[in-house]
Amino acid sequence: MVENGRVVSLSLSGRAFVSSAHDLFQEHPIRSLRLVAVAPFLTEVANCERLSGLTRLDLFGNRIGPEGLKQLLASPFLANLRELGLGRNGLGTPGIEELLNWRGREKIRRLDLQGNGLLADDVHRLFGSSKWPELSGLVLSENALGPKSVESLFQLPLAELEIEGIELGTSGAVHLAESGLKPINLNLGFNRIGDKGIAELVRSELLAKCTVLDLRGNLIRSADPFVDSPMLRNVRSLDLRANPFDDDAVSKLRRRFGEAVLLS
């Protein structure tokens, strides 16, 4: 991304970062960095003072594991970091320990832990107390967390929550509906919530401020809870694809939400 002719966001391989960081960061005010193929270069990356200008660092898909995460978080140059992308890095429970031991977590506003083999106990340990006072965006998708895992998130100041494919089910949706959370962006895709869970969700205060709602692949057949809900008044994007609606339900949804609803 370029602003006023200067690069502020870019993607580099680990090798390219190590070899060119000095010149690039000297010439451009880079604040957001995506690194790929970084695992062999983590020591050099963590020791690079140019990290100190970053507010966002994304390592999605690098498979650095808990030891790699330990190396990264030991860096003395992450004080300005506010967004950390760790999706699909094979962190597991040992990676959670590293995050718990990292004092920098107190300044993080957005954290991506998608697809890291996490379990409900990992999430409870990581978020079960006020260790993340600034965290407003959280991605936990593609972890087999189960229905009760969401309870540890209720005290977080979340405006964005992505928990796609975490095996939430109907009971987890009911827990979430009672949570007191009021996210603006909510992704609950592919959680087998069903009509009963949806009915609880769409009449709860959970959705009072929601503008983007993703409910793909949740075995929803009835349109009535959506049509009747006053809590969806702020929704500007409602993704209901991959649900078995009949033609009558589709018509009802189209009448209520118009172009805001995605059905195919």
Q: What is the pLDDT of residue 1?
A: 53
To which residue do tokens 């409602």 refer? 238
Residue 2 has pLDDT above 60, yes or no: no
pLDDT exceeds cutoff 80 at 68: yes
What pLDDT does 42 receive?
Answer: 96
- Domain positions in the chain: 118-262
Residue 115 contacts residue 143 (beta carbons within 8 Å): yes
Nearest CA among 114, 44, 104, 110 for reference residue 80: 104
pLDDT of residue 218 exceeding 90, the answer is yes
* Residue partners of 206: CB distance under 8 A and separation at least 6: 176, 177, 179, 181, 182, 183, 186, 231
CA dist., res. 107 & res. 83, Å (int): 9
How confident is the prediction for the chain on average, in pLDDT? Answer: 95
Confidence of residue 6 (pLDDT cuts 50, 70, 90): low
* pLDDT tens track for 194-208: 999 999 999 999 999
CB 4 within 8 A of CB 26: no
Distance, CA of 49 to CA of 139 (rounded, Å) = 28
What is the helix (H) or strand (E) element at residue 46, kind and residue range?
A: helix 42-46
Over residues 92-107, the pLDDT tens digits come to: 999 999 999 999 999 9
The topology under which CATH files domain 118-262 is 3.80.10
CA–CA dist 227, 123 (Å, integer): 34
CA distance 245 to 128: 37
pLDDT tens-digit readout, 120-164: 999 999 999 768 999 999 999 999 999 999 999 999 999 999 999
Instruction: Judge whether 158 and 184 are in contact, CB under 8 Å.
Output: no
Q: Is the pLDDT of residue 54 over 80?
A: yes
Instruction: Classify each residue of 105-137 as buried b or exposed e, where b means 16 or more C-beta atoms within 10 Å of its C-beta.
Output: bebbbbbbbbbbebbbebbbbbbeeebbeebbb
